[in-house]
Chain A
Amino acid sequence: GENVEQHPSTLSVQEGDSAVIKCTYSDSASNYFPWYKQELGKGPQLIIDIRSNVGEKKDQRIAVTLNKTAKHFSLHITETQPEDSAVYFCAPRRENNNAGNMLTFGGGTRLMVKP
C-alpha cells in the first residue's frame, strides 16, 4: 500500500508569511494528489488537488507543486491569515483503480498562523 509522510508535523508562521508543507509518497503509480484542510471538530475539506499531467496548480493564495520523479508534492499558502490555522492532510492515490476513492492520509500538519 501507499506509504505517505508529511513534513513538518507542526508549523507556526506570522500572519502574512508563507507556509509550505511537503508530502512524500511511495507508490510510483499514484496519479492524484489532493490536499485537505481540517478545522477543529470538523471533517476534512478538499482545498486543492493536482493530477500527474501537470506540475503546478494555483488557486488564489494556495498552490500545489508536484515532483513525480522524486515522489513528493507540496502545498504552498501565501499571505497566510489566522483563518488558515488548521490541520492539513495530503492523500495521494491512484485513480482508475478498484479501490474507488479510498484515501491513505499523511500524518497531518498543524498550521498555526499568529496574528
Chain B
Amino acid sequence: GAVVSQHPSWVICKSGTSVKIECRSLDFQATTMFWYRQFPKQSLMLMATSNEGSKATYEQGVEKDKFLINHASLTLSTLTVTSAHPEDSSFYICSASHRVNTEAFFGQGTRLTVV
C-alpha cells in the first residue's frame, strides 16, 4: 500500500516557540491532505484540509493563524504550530490519498509536548 510519512514522530518545545510538522506521501501524489488532532483517549478531530497550490480549509474553531498549513507540492504538506502553548500538546496525524474515492493512508503521527 501507499506510504505516508510524518516527521518528527515526537517533539518537545517551549511555550511561545513554533513547531513544524511534515507530512509526505512517499510513493504517490496527493492533491489533498488532511490534518487531524487527537487528544488522549479521544477520537481524531479534523483540523483542516490541505490543498496543493491553494489555501487550506480550516474546520470551525481551528485558528488558521495559529496552525499554519502549507501544501507546496503534491507530496508534501506542513503544519506549523505557532506560539505554542501547553494546551496545544496533542497527537497530530495527517492523511492523504491518491485520488478521491480511494483509501486514505495515515502518517504515523507526531506527538507534540509543549512545556
Interface residues of A (CB under 8 A from B): 32, 34, 36, 41-46, 49, 89, 95-97, 99-108, 110
Residues of B within 8 A of A97 (CB): 100
Q: Known: A106-B43, A107-B43, A108-B43. Contact between A101 and B97, CB under 8 A?
A: yes
Q: Known: A103-B34, A107-B43, A108-B42. Contact between A43 and B93, CB under 8 A?
A: yes
Q: Known: A44-B106, A46-B103, A49-B103. Contact between A100 and B97, CB under 8 A?
A: yes
Further contacts, 10 of them, CB under 8 A, given A32-B101, A46-B103, A96-B101? A43-B95, A43-B106, A44-B44, A95-B101, A97-B100, A99-B49, A101-B97, A101-B102, A107-B42, A108-B42
Q: Which one of A95, A99, A101, A106 contacts B95 once the chains associate, using CB atoms below 8 Å?
A: A101
- B103 and A44 within 8 A (CB): no
Q: How far is the CA of A26 from the CA of B91 in the complex (A)?
A: 27
Q: How far is the CA of A32 from the CA of B4 in the complex (A)?
A: 22
Q: Mark B1-45, 1 if CB is under 8 A from A, else 0.
A: 000101000000000000000000000000010100000011111
> What is the distance, in angstroms, from A8's C-beta to the closest C-beta of chain B?
14
- A44 and B93 within 8 A (CB): yes
Task: Report how many A-B pairs have Cβ atoms within 8 Å.
Answer: 63
Interface residues of B (CB under 8 A from A): 4, 6, 32, 34, 41-46, 49, 91, 93, 95, 97, 100-109, 111
Residues of A within 8 A of B49 (CB): 99-100, 102
> What is the distance, in angstroms, from A6's C-beta to the closest C-beta of chain B?
9
- A95 and B34 within 8 A (CB): no
Q: How far is the CA of A44 from the CA of B38 in the complex (A)?
A: 11
